[in-house]
Structure 1
Amino acid sequence: MSKRHVHRCWLPFFLCLSLTACSEKPPPPAPRPLLEQIHSNGELVILTTNEPTAYYFDRDDKPAGPEYEMARAFAESLGVKPDFRVFDSLPEVINALRQGEGHIAAAGITITKERQKHFDFGPPYQEVNEELICYRNSKRVGDAGDIAGLEIVVPAQSSYIRTLEKLQTEYPDIYWKTDTRLLTPQLMKKVWRKKIQCTVADSTIAAINRRYYPELSLKYTLASNSQLAWMFPKNSPQLNNAITQWFEEFNKFSALDHLQEKYYGFVEVFDYVDVKRFLRRIDKRYPQYRVMFETAAKEQGISPTLLAAVSYQESHWNPRAKSPTGVRGMMMLTQPVARSLGVTSRLDAE
């Protein structure tokens, strides 16, 4: 075989190698660190839920809630704007974070081993108990074994599922259903309406919502000292460090304690009779005086709900109320105070 023939035989091979090398694309660039993206875009996208323990609009139609205040302050510390995206359920929040639709999930999320497989968590900022919630006059639950036979419905992908699974290993007759659409407060409302028998709630959620549904009862503590924290995508060490450092500063001057006192301090004591009376008088008495409160509040430049709340605290909206010390009327005025305000009759609500 001639050398020329050998060279011709190898020519297609080298040509193929050359074309293959030219057709190979360079590997895609590594994604920018999440914190760098946040700074570059000038905003922190926070995924949350609409409930009293996370994010809601207050009586003045302004955003409020413990998660809202903390996440907003964190965004300000980064020098970016907070962008809150509110979802109807926890599964939606988790899926949105998994799909890259946000930077952090701040929705009263419990740290669990299962979630840690897929996401990272910031430092715990609160501990709660997981409570079994049933109607007030339902059967007594003395121990975990008494839970067997109860109809229990919990939010899908919630930490309550793992808690119930642990109990089920010891008490096989414990069963539950999951709801993919509703948050815990909405399930508590269904218990109150007797649409379902029981649900499970964080102690903070239970304490707040019992003010609206006083017939609900905390039957049994299923888990103690569950830790809540912000959740964010894995492999984000810069963001993790930023969150950790911010919480250290936030705790340094008791800001976290003040925040929790603001949102949860009033729920420490629950008086069933007093709450029932209050709700009844909102329906029956408050409408009679609502316009009066709104008019007076506008004249004085204060909130009408604040004025109504003070009046309820003083007299339970009873214009003929009287105390042993002689103060009288809707606002329980003394005679000297009434004279100084030009009030001629303390029994005249207007």
Structure 2
Amino acid sequence: MTYQQEDGENGSTTGLEHDLIEAFAQELGVGVEYVVVGPDELESSIARGRYHLAAAWLSPGNNPGVQATPAIFQSRDMLMQHEASLPLEDLSSLADKTVHVMAGSRQAATMRRLAKEVANLRVVEVGSGDVLDLIESLGNREVDYVAIDQNIEEIANQFTPYVHSTLTLSEPEPIVWLLGPSPNPELAEKARAFAERVQHDGTLAKLEDRYFGHVRRLNQADVTKFLGQIETTLPKLRRYFQDAQTVTGIDWRLVAAVAYHESHWDANATSFTGVRGIMMLTEETADRLGVSNRLNPRESILAGARYINMLKDNLPDEVQEPDRTWLALAAYNIGPGHFNAARTLAQQMNADGNAWFEMKRILPLLSKPSVYQRLKAGRARGGEAVILVENIRSYYDILVRNEERYLAVSSRMEGMVGMQGDGPGLKLKK
């Protein structure tokens, strides 16, 4: 939600607030220096005020001397528990309970306050790992209750399907950037204006879609089945996916996510339309890529990864990641002819055909007679392409959390952005 750096020396930095800060810096025409501190250091770092903006999914706090932007988001604290445990009905039912929470978080402060009001409420502040690790402990019944930010729940359900929130622990609170006790007046005014404007000009909506737009697609049964397949089936195929990464540069976990959505990792899969194999290749595509046997998992996986790269290469140079990959996967599903027709339609509708956020709205129109009858490519199930991409994004996030990065990469490896977890506190300088 704030800031996370990918593994490795050249790993890309991502996060919703990070990207928003980058957009603000670009508007100002300046660079950004990020100084990352742990939750236990955040309060003292803010008090010293040696920064221009502080961002860590922060609420204004009780210090009236620290100025802040208007609310960028709204959030509240929730109690999460395992679905097999009896639901708690009100705050008084927390009596004699033990709640785990991340140290240094807003939820820790909320629980400390409640511990003064509720009899024998025990609060355990966890200083290691991240909130998703803590929720995983909840899913494994190692802890009974966890206090979380409400925005975490849908993300967490992608990785730990048997937990859910029950009690509301706090009133809605604004999420802001702190400007410090004595901010530069011009910078403070520009930051406040930016925070207000992004609510209405589409900037915030696009970033929220980039990080959270896909997390509601998979249901509990989908996630449970996929986690089981990671344990039982993926080990037999992992080396083929990693070979595909070596050849194409695509993160092997993304190739695996595509394959799972296409065939549920069934090398013998065949559809009524004639696509076959673990990557569900058409006969024409297989011939084009030199595949002698579509049912051979190694051949199919390598060809599917190469085909994704071909579709990415067909896109204009100005298309950035991760949109470049999501658009290529949509083309993988409906074919490049129908996909190019959708891009033409986007242009006619004054939509950005280079942005996945815009194309999610355009692609389903390909199944409407009033639209496809005007297109040379004809009808296509564009809505299915959107579902495919969003599901793959979720499967990819799950694999990133559960499977190690493969380090033997080719020279054409491009940065991929998956769902990011709750990052550490962030302090940044101009």
For normalisation by structure 1, the TM-score amounts to 0.73
Matching residue's letter, 1:135: H
Residues 120/218 of structure 1: CA separation in 2 closer, same or farther (3 Å cut): same
- Is contact 2:100-2:126 (8 Å) kept? no
Aligned residue in 1 for 2:364: none
Aligned residue in 1 for 2:55: 106
Aligned counterpart for 1:87 among listed residues 37, 59, 83: 37
Aligned residue in 1 for 2:80: 133
Aligned counterpart for 1:277 among listed residues 178, 202, 225: 225
SS of the residue corresponding to residue 243 of structure 1 reads helix
After superposing the two structures, state which structure 1 stretch, 160-169 or 317-326, moved more.
160-169
SS of the residue corresponding to residue 213 of structure 2 reads helix
**C-alpha distance in 2 between matches for 1:70 and 1:149:** 42
Q: How do 1:278-317 residues align onto structure 2 when only pairs under 5 Å count? A: 278-300=226-248, 302-317=250-265
**C-alpha distance in 2 between matches for 1:94 and 1:78:** 27
**C-alpha distance in 1 between matches for 2:66 and 2:174:** 15
User: Are 1:263 and 2:211 an aligned pair?
Assistant: yes
Aligned counterpart for 2:159 among listed residues 208, 212, 229: 212
Identical-residue share of aligned pairs (%): 27
**C-alpha distance in 2 between matches for 1:303 and 1:187:** 27
Aligned counterpart for 2:178 among listed residues 228, 231, 238: 231
- Is contact 1:154-1:176 (8 Å) kept? no
User: Are 1:63 and 2:63 an aligned pair?
Assistant: no
Matching residue's letter, 1:120: Q
Q: How far did residue 193 of structure 1 move?
A: 4.3
How well do the aligned residues superpose, as a CA RMSD in angstroms?
2.9
Residues 71-115 of structure 1: per-residue CA shift (max 9 Å, x gap): 2232333333212122232x3212211123433221111234x2x
- Is contact 2:77-2:150 (8 Å) kept? yes
**C-alpha distance in 1 between matches for 2:232 and 2:123:** 38
Residues 246-301 of structure 1: per-residue CA shift (max 9 Å, x gap): 33454453111100111111122452221122222223333332332233344445
Residues 332/251 of structure 1: CA separation in 2 closer, same or farther (3 Å cut): same
Higher relative contact order at CA 8 Å, sep ≥6: structure 1 or structure 2? 2
Q: How do 1:1-350 residues align onto structure 2 when only pairs under 5 Å count? A: 53-58=1-6, 61-89=11-39, 91-112=40-61, 114=62, 116-161=63-108, 163-164=110-111, 172-173=118-119, 175-179=121-125, 181-182=127-128, 183-223=130-170, 225-236=172-183, 237-300=185-248, 302-350=250-298
SS of the residue corresponding to residue 164 of structure 2 reads strand
- Is contact 2:75-2:172 (8 Å) kept? yes
- Is contact 1:168-1:174 (8 Å) kept? yes
Residues 238/64 of structure 1: CA separation in 2 closer, same or farther (3 Å cut): same
- Is contact 1:97-1:103 (8 Å) kept? no
Q: How far did residue 167 of structure 1 move?
A: 6.0
Aligned residue in 2 for 1:18: none
SS of the residue corresponding to residue 89 of structure 2 reads coil
Structure of larger gyration radius: 1
Residues 270/221 of structure 1: CA separation in 2 closer, same or farther (3 Å cut): farther
Aligned residue in 2 for 1:4: none
**C-alpha distance in 2 between matches for 1:142 and 1:270:** 27
Matching residue's letter, 2:31: K
**C-alpha distance in 2 between matches for 1:147 and 1:117:** 31
- Is contact 1:93-1:105 (8 Å) kept? no
Matching residue's letter, 1:153: H
Residues 216-264 of structure 1: per-residue CA shift (max 9 Å, x gap): 2222233353321112312324332121123345445311110011111
Q: How far did residue 338 of structure 1 move?
A: 3.1
Q: How far did residue 179 of structure 1 move?
A: 1.8
Residues 209/146 of structure 1: CA separation in 2 closer, same or farther (3 Å cut): same
Residues 210/86 of structure 1: CA separation in 2 closer, same or farther (3 Å cut): farther
After superposing the two structures, state which structure 1 stretch, 255-264 or 187-196, moved more.
187-196
- Is contact 1:184-1:200 (8 Å) kept? no
